[in-house]
Amino acid sequence: MGVQSVMFQGTASDAGKSWLAAAVCRILANQGKKVAPFKSQNMALNSFITDKGDEMGRAQVYQAEAARINPDVRMNPILLKPSTDKDSQVIVMGKVLADMDAASYYKFKPQLIPQIMQAYQTLAAENDVMVLEGAGSPAEINLNENDIVNMGMAKMADAPVILVADIDKGGVFASIYGTIKLMPKEDQQRIKGIIINKFRGDKTLLEPGNKMIEKLTGVPVIGVLPMSDIDIDEEDSVSLTRKPRQKNTSKAIDVAVIDLDKISNFTDIHSLKIQPDVSVRYVLKAEELGNPDLLILPGSKNTNEDLAALKKNGLADAIIHAHEDGSIVVGICGGYQILGRMLHDPEGIESPIKEQAGLGLLDTETIFNEQKTTTQAVAKRKNYELKGYEIHMGTTKLGLNATPFAEIQETNGQPERREDGAVNNDGTVIGTYLHGIFDNPYWTRHLLNKIRTAKGLAPLVNTNVSISEYKDQQYERLARLFAENVDMEKLKQILQESEK
């Protein structure tokens, strides 16, 4: 037997194609098939480090988890991490290649096709089914000439396409019709089905529209998925606009996350959201902050510019005042760097800002350099083993009034001894380079119980929620939702006809 394939493309970003690809990965894995996700080019600030030290996009990570396999950089050979409105860091097969502006990358990207195809073909040779994902919209007619991620990739893989449309945004039929009709005829013929996503209400009211769009485009609507509360990692920062801004007063612990302009790896917060006594909210303005029990400064792709923005909008002072009033502050990666006394970027590695004072909540000093640290790590913090991953450019030195947060004991499966992060003298400010720090349930519950005790509340016990078990439950829910609302016989037919 040869390999089968299917590709999900969207009428726009955030249509839900990543989720639906994950659903199909889990459904096929449950059927005993060897299935792997693939996205030739990803643009995201949420990334992950594999066990080989390679950097890749988070969407293919959770799709791999749904398929019950380990993330592999071949699943996402090209990753673009925007550092400014015009420039991106170009990562090829998990390693930094260069920083490029949009025009330069547009001309350069055809040179990446051999590496993309090698990644795809070697992965396909090891699996029964390949589940591909596009990016944004395939109808970006100004960019289609050198496309390597939507119909360009579908052609290279000779994969059939299912078009995903987000009805929650409005104008769903116009977006479906416009997307298809803006494509060349040969690309239109590659589309084998339409799935309407995020529907609310009575599906029977949608049927006349479905029949009309099928007649107009010649493509069948094979499913209508309802809006759901399934909780899976988000990759696109567009999703942050849907995150809560207000405190849930029914929860004992108020966690405020600073919504940085260049926020990265906001998936670090996922494990806090599932704690039974925690309310998580995202803060954009100084007046929204108040005095949270736990204040988190997340990662940033451009630490200096985000720090400058915090000073300008008043959040820098608000964070300092919140700490003075009793908030515990945790900074992760770029957030850790922001908490220090000084940031130095003499070579302009990250931004034109060569030197800037930090918030001064930690006695640390950061110097940016070209070498990028990308490792999975195992560390120890007192009696707690901590697992996470590092993605950062720069080194941070501790002053006399800071102690290391943890001791790294292993990176990428090999023994290594070095210090990570910093803690202030009274333990109320913590900085670490370890992404995924809250995925460690015993340490996380220790921190939360410390907050509860300070508030006069009894510690919680037996609540060490496993993020991996929680995610697995969500993948199963997603698979059921898909199977119940999509014509599975039609999907089976599309896969069978794709076999090569």
Distance CA 159, CA 8 (A): 10
Give yes or no: 333 in active site. Answer: yes
Cα Rg of the chain (Å, integer): 23
Q: Are 334 and 303 in contact (CB under 8 A)?
A: yes
DSSP string, 434-446: -BTGGG-HHHHHH
Say what the pLDDT of residue 237 is. Answer: 53
Q: What is the mean pLDDT of each run of 10 residues along the chain (500 residues)?
A: 93 94 98 98 92 94 97 97 87 95 93 97 98 94 90 97 95 96 95 97 93 97 95 66 74 96 90 94 95 96 94 97 97 97 91 93 95 94 95 94 96 93 97 96 96 96 84 96 97 95
Q: What angle do CA 128, 131, 136 make, to 5 degrees?
A: 165
Q: Are 222 and 195 in contact (CB under 8 A)?
A: yes
d(CA 315, CA 309): 8
Tell me the β-bridge partners of 376. 389
CA pair distance 207, 178, nearest whole angstrom? 19
Catalytic residue among 270, 323, 392, 435: 435
Question: Residue 488 has which token pair?
Answer: 């599975």
Q: Are 440 and 386 in contact (CB under 8 A)?
A: yes
Four-CA torsion 415, 417, 420, 424, nearest 10 degrees: 140
Closest by CA to 277, choosing from 256, 251, 311, is 251
Q: Phi first, then psi: what are they for 98, rounded to 5°? A: -175, 170
Q: Which amino acid is at 200?
A: R
Report d(CA 261, CA 258) in Å as an integer. 9
Residue 31 neighbours by CB distance under 10 Å? 10
Domains and CATH numbers, the chain: 4-232 (3.40.50.300), 244-467 (3.40.50.880)
Instruction: Name, in order, each residue with C-beta under 8 angstroms of 443's C-beta and a sequence gap of 6 or more.
Output: 381, 384, 386, 437
Dmax over Cα atoms in the chain, in whole Å? 72
14/7 Cα distance (integer angstroms): 16
Query: Residue 360's pLDDT is what?
Result: 97
Torsion sign (Cα): 321, 325, 331, 336: positive
pLDDT at site 396? 96
pTM of the model: 0.90
- DSSP assignment of 95-154 equals EEEEEEEHHHHHHHGGGGHHHHHHHHHHHHTT-SEEEEE--S-TT-TTTGGG-SSSHHHH
**3-state DSSP call for residue 25?**
helix
Which phi and psi angles does 443 have, rounded to 5°? -65, -40
d(CA 314, CA 94): 37
Q: For this structure, is 25 an active site residue? A: no
Cα 347–Cα 404–Cα 437 angle in degrees, nearest 5:
85
How far is Cα 430 from Cα 424, in angstroms, rounded to an integer? 7
Which token pair is 428?
A: 């109320």
- For residue 53, give Cα distances in angstroms to 285, 409, 414: 36, 16, 11
The string of DSSP letters for 447-491 reads HHHHHHHHTTPPPP-S----HHHHHHHHHHHHHHHHHHHB-HHHH
Which of 333, 344, 392, 446 is an active site residue?
A: 333
Of 153, 158, 160, 47, whose CA–CA distance to 110 is shortest? 153
Beta bridge partners of 343: 356, 366
Give the pLDDT confidence score for residue 249 in this predicted structure.
Answer: 84
